[in-house]
């Protein structure tokens, strides 16, 4: 059995959870994104960021959680150098349900993964070990991250294997992006700990896992370790283990972390937040369309194939482009262009940030294809140019000679030339008409894709048969 | 020109040219340098006070807009943050700490041209009733320097009583404004929880404490409240006080008001006989003022001191855990310590009372004991609150002696924490329930002051100050014989 504790930063918020320092701490020099509140200076008080409550509540709703009538904040007391106040302001359900959501569920492959609880809390600062090893003498603290809004999602131990974990995390990551609350691709924006146990064994918590890729490996390692212990009749102890990133194994942390008493008390500086049904409904109404609803709409309304709809809906960048570029009539072609021609050009965060493409480029391209002005393959070349330079479609067509060659005389000359260069292929095409595509390909190559494919085929057939 | 004038008198004197801010501040600084060795009300003195006074006089002369306080000297308890100066909380842990920001109340006072004359002494982190637990030595009672001035805002009350300033801001977690006000024969108000912003007040037990004004006259306390109260975006627990004018109509009297005498605070074994008889004379005074008096009972009061110490130590344990000597504090060599042993070593710098409460604070909310202590205390708190709010359906005010005992000599209670804690029995109810309460000087017994406490319902400070003003009018007390 596997359960997860996932931490997601609300990276798209302007400010931290309790002050107006930037939630996006990544661009700052160490210890410059600070104020008395996030540094926990004597006398400072937390000011609850209402936007964070709204966005966290949307996550809870998107994960089908129940929303409490009032939110409470609690102090989790423990000493750690990255924690400015030596307590973390978080949530729990000590006096009934008061965390941002509970009892949710997500379906993966027909199986329900239950969400036990979602809580809104502050991220601590960051420890930097000189020489990047925990064994070095010097530990540096950077408090820029301290107070960043964090949503912790705790699942029930409902996963059977690492593969389900991966599917779940992909769904969650797409969901957060679709809600516009977080950019999961940012370093450290999404982190997960795993609770792993086998039948008859005690629960082992695996921490310090750097990436989702390693999470899968860590769970796999831990399951294997526990099974091999069980086979030898050795009981699995309840403990916390740390993932060793270099050796790709889990190591007992040997600390008494599981015995730690956090002495939770109510955070009196933040009064109970009453969530009336009016604001809940308002937030629900302002939530973007869910991924599954988008997918459904793409399939039923535009007759887009399931696989294309899947890719399009689960990636916010693609679906935003699609929504802005498409009309009733060109939807299917826009969808195809995004998922086939565009995909390789903007498959990383950097490429997306640098891309000069606008939705209008896409609709313009489809329009000139449909008008017969350029071929599909020319359009693909144009797309490359657009992403790089942002030039308008008409500019590119006129400058680079992408206009389709549909002049029979001009095309005829090119075809004659190709046929003279490829006597064997011509002979083969005469014997087996299927192989004529090779010659079409050669013509396209020669014309850089600007030849009208229908006309090319027609002329080729005529010339070969004579 | 006398320093023994009220805030209202000071303001009118400066306005009509009888005195200048510079003259008054200079005289105040003289007084401080003359008496501080005896009283020790201050931890630090504002070295720019004279310069600031001159700047205000210049504004007055050139008919520029001047703030309501016209350069009046006010002392600030040293657990309230004032930018660029030290805010020590009378603790070794913060003896070099300089706040980079002003508390909201400080911003408000500065914007009204008050002069913050100095930072007043207190029990370390406001834990105590005598200022004996200040890491920098105790303050003395200006009425008799062999006696404690009360606490924890002992420096604030002593500075006002000793004419070292006109008024002061203290903080009141369980009586820390009212207790020293009573011991030093000055007026001290604990406002409704949330009426005054706590932003910048170093937390001890944040769910029940408030900043409160201390002055020699009830009307001065009203004036200060006018300028420090109100909602603050930096403190989510502040509430809307409706911008009342607490000073206007302060002389309305208490004819036909209903006053309840809290039996559990006004009779019984723990009550000093002299305090008791003074209190009942105050009851007579209220009656003569036209109020209807009735004795009433709040049976939960019996459990309030225990409840108070469970709740406040739990919160203190959390609030003070940030003082780990890593980000501020005095220097200590980190070399050779594992993190947790470093923390234990660093925390040895807390004084005895803070240490005692931190240990309790680690215990009462801990797993296995929270139900027996913390959660039970929270239940008493809500039951007490219901009882008090119910009482205010019938009564306008509830009264008692402020402190059940007279000021005591140094060292008399310091070794008996339980006896010391019991001295809080009359004051903690206002904190646990959030209602406002004021201490008004009433008598001097053998040279030792006795104060009367009046409670009013939530946000009824205007009425409360009217009652206090009426009682003040029945007395004619001398100043401290310093």
The interface pTM score, or ipTM, of the predicted complex is 0.96
Q: How far apart are CA A434 and CA A437, in angstroms?
A: 7
Radius of gyration in angstroms for the set of CA atoms belonging to chain A, rounded to a whole number:
29
Q: Which of B99, B98, B41 is CA-nearest to residue B74?
A: B41
Do A266 and B207 form a contact (C-beta atoms < 8 A)?
yes
Q: Which of B166, B49, B180 is CA-nearest to residue B121?
A: B180
Do A83 and A125 form a contact (C-beta atoms < 8 A)?
yes
Domains recognised in chain B with CATH numbers: 7-251+439-450+458-473 (3.90.1300.10)
Cβ A265–B314 below 8 Å, yes or no?
Answer: yes
Catalytic amino acids of B?
77, 152, 176
Mention every residue, 6+ apart, whose C-beta is less than 8 A from residue A447.
A405, A414
- Tell me whether B317 touches chain A (CB under 8 Å): yes
Nearest CA in chain B to A265: B365
Which backbone phi and psi does A101 adopt, to 5 degrees?
-170, 155
Q: Please give the angle made by the CA atoms of B449, B452 and B455, to the nearest 5 degrees.
A: 150
A86 contacts in chain B (CB < 8 Å): 321-322, 324
* Span B330-376, pLDDT tens digits: 667 777 787 778 888 888 899 999 999 999 999 999 988 999 999 99
Do B206 and B160 form a contact (C-beta atoms < 8 A)?
no
Probe site for chain A from B105, B322, B359, B432 (most A CB atoms < 10 A): B322
Say how far residue A169 (Cα) sits from the centre of its chain.
9
Mean pLDDT of A397-418: 76
Q: What's the DSSP call for residue B141?
A: B
Cβ A85–B326 below 8 Å, yes or no?
Answer: no
B370 contacts in chain A (CB < 8 Å): 263
**Given 1.20.810.10, 1.10.10.410, 1.10.10.10, 3.40.50.720, which CATH number is that of A408-465?**
1.10.10.410
> Strand locations in B69-113, DSSP E?
73-77
| Residue A401 reports pLDDT greater than 70 | no
pLDDT of residue B324: 87
| Residue A134 reports pLDDT greater than 70 | no
Lowest mean pLDDT among A147-151, A318-322, B251-255: A318-322
* Span B85-124, pLDDT tens digits: 999 999 999 999 999 999 999 999 999 999 999 999 999 9
Mention every residue, 6+ apart, whose C-beta is less than 8 A from residue B46.
B52, B85, B115, B116, B117, B118
Cβ A39–B97 below 8 Å, yes or no?
Answer: no
* Residues linked to residue A193 through DSSP beta bridges, in sequence order: A5
Of A36, A43, A87, the CB nearest to B318: A87
Mean pLDDT of B193-198: 98
pLDDT of residue A413: 85
Q: How far apart are CA A13 and CA A56, in angstroms?
A: 11
Q: In the structure, what pLDDT confidence band is assigned to residue A389 with cuts at 50, 70 and 90?
A: confident
Distance of CA A100 to CAs A92, A154, A284, A386, Å? Answer: 9, 12, 14, 44
* Span A229-271, pLDDT tens digits: 999 999 888 888 999 888 899 998 866 555 678 999 999 999 9
A327: number of Cβ within 10 Å: 10
What percentage of residues in chain B have a pLDDT greater than 70?
Answer: 99
pLDDT of residue B159: 98
Question: Residue B47: helix, strand or coil by DSSP?
Answer: coil
In which residue ranges of chain A is CATH 1.10.10.410 found?
Answer: 408-465
- Tell me whether B235 touches chain A (CB under 8 Å): yes
A355: number of Cβ within 10 Å: 17
């Amino acid at each position: 059995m596997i359960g997860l504790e996932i931490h997601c930063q609300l990276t798209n918020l302007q400010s931290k959870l309790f002050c107006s320092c930037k939630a996006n701490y990544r661009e700052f020099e160490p210890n410059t994104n600070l104020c008395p509140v996030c540094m926990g200076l004597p006398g400072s008080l937390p000011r609850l960021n209402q936007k964070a409550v709204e966005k966290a509540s949307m996550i809870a709703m998107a994960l089908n959680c129940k929303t409490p009538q009032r939110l409470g904040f609690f102090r989790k007391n423990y000493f750690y150098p990255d924690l400015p106040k030596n307590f973390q302001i978080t949530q729990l359900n000590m006096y009934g349900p008061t965390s941002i959501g509970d009892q949710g569920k997500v379906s993966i492959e027909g199986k329900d993964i239950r969400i036990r609880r979602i809580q809104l809390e502050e991220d601590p600062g960051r420890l930097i070990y000189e020489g990047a090893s925990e064994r070095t003498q010097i530990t540096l603290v950077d408090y820029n991250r301290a107070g960043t809004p964090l949503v912790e999602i705790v699942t029930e131990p409902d996963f059977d294997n690492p593969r389900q974990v991966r599917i779940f995390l992909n769904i969650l990551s797409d969901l957060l992006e679709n809600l516009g609350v977080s950019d999961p691709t940012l370093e450290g924006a999404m982190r997960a700990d795993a609770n792993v146990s086998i039948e008859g064994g005690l629960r082992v918590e695996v921490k310090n896992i750097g990436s989702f890729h390693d999470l899968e490996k860590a769970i796999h390692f831990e399951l294997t370790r526990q099974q091999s212990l069980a086979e030898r009749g050795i009981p699995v102890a309840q403990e916390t283990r740390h993932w060793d990133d270099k050796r790709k194994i889990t190591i007992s942390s040997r600390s008494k972390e599981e015995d730690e008493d956090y002495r939770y008390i109510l955070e009196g500086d933040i009064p109970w937040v009453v969530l009336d049904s009016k604001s809940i409904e308002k937030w629900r109404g302002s939530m973007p369309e869910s991924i599954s609803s988008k997918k459904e709409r793409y399939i039923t309304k535009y007759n887009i194939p399931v696989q294309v709809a899947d890719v399009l809906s689960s990636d916010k960048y693609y679906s935003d482009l699609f929504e802005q570029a498409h009309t009733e009539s060109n939807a299917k072609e826009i969808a195809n262009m995004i998922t086939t021609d565009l995909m390789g050009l903007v498959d990383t965060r950097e490429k997306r940030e640098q891309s000069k493409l606008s939705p209008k480029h896409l609709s313009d391209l489809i329009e000139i294809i449909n008008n017969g002005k350029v071929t599909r393959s020319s359009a693909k070349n144009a797309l490359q140019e657009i992403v790089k330079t942002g030039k308008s479609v008409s500019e590119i067509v006129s400058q680079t000679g992408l206009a389709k060659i549909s002049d029979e005389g001009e095309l005829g000359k090119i075809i004659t030339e190709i046929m003279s260069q490829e006597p064997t292929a011509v002979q083969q095409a005469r014997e087996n008409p299927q192989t004529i595509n090779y010659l079409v390909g050669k013509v396209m190559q020669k014309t850089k894709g600007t030849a009208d494919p229908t006309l090319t085929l027609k002329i080729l057939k005529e010339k070969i048969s004579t | 020109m006398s320093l023994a004038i009220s805030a209202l008198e000071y303001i009118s004197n400066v306005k009509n040219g009888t005195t200048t801010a510079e003259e008054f501040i200079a005289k105040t600084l003289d007084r401080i340098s003359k008496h501080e060795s005896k009283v020790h009300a201050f931890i630090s003195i504002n070295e720019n006070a004279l310069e600031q006074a001159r700047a205000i006089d210049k504004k007055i002369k050139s008919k520029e807009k001047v703030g309501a306080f016209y350069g009046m000297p006010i002392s600030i308890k040293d657990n309230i943050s004032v930018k660029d100066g030290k805010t020590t909380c009378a603790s070794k842990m913060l003896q070099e700490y300089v706040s980079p920001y002003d508390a909201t109340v400080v911003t408000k006072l500065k914007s009204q041209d008050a002069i913050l004359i100095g930072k007043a002494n207190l029990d370390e982190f406001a834990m105590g009733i005598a200022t004996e637990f200040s890491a920098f030595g105790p303050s003395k009672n200006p009425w008799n320097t062999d006696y404690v001035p009360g606490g924890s805002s002992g420096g604030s009350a002593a500075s006002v009583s000793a004419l070292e300033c006109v008024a002061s801001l203290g903080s009141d977690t369980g009586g820390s404004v009212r207790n020293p006000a009573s011991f030093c024969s000055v007026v001290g108000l604990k406002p409704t929880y949330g009426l005054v912003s706590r932003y910048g007040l170093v937390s001890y037990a944040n769910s029940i404490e408030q900043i409160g004004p201390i002055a020699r006259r009830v009307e001065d306390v009203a004036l200060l409240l006018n300028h420090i109260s109100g909602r603050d975006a930096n403190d989510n627990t502040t509430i809307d006080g409706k911008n009342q004018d607490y000073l206007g109509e302060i002389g309305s009297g208490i004819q036909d008001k209903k006053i309840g005498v809290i039996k559990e605070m006004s009779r019984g074994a723990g009550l000093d006989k002299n305090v008791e008889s003074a209190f009942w004379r105050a009851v007579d005074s209220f009656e003569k003022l036209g109020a209807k008096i009735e004795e009433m009972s709040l049976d939960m009061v019996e459990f309030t001191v225990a409840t108070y110490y469970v709740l406040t130590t739990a919160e203190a344990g959390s609030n003070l855990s940030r003082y780990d000597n890593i980000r501020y504090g005095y220097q200590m060599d980190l070399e050779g310590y594992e993190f947790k042993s470093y923390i234990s070593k660093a925390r040895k710098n807390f004084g005895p009372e803070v240490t005692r409460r931190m240990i309790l604070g680690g215990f009462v909310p801990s797993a296995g004991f929270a139900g027996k202590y913390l959660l039970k205390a929270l239940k008493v708190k809500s039951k007490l609150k219901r009882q008090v709010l119910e009482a205010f359906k019938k009564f306008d005010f509830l009264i008692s002696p402020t402190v059940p005992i007279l000021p005591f000599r140094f060292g008399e209670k310091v070794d008996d924490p339980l006896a010391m804690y019991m001295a809080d029995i009359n004051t903690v109810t206002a904190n646990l329930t959030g209602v406002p309460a004021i201490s008004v000087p009433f008598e001097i017994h053998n040279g030792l002051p006795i104060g009367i406490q009046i409670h009013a319902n939530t946000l009824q400070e205007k009425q409360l100050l009217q009652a206090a003003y009426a009682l003040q009018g029945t007395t004619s007390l001398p100043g401290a014989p310093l």
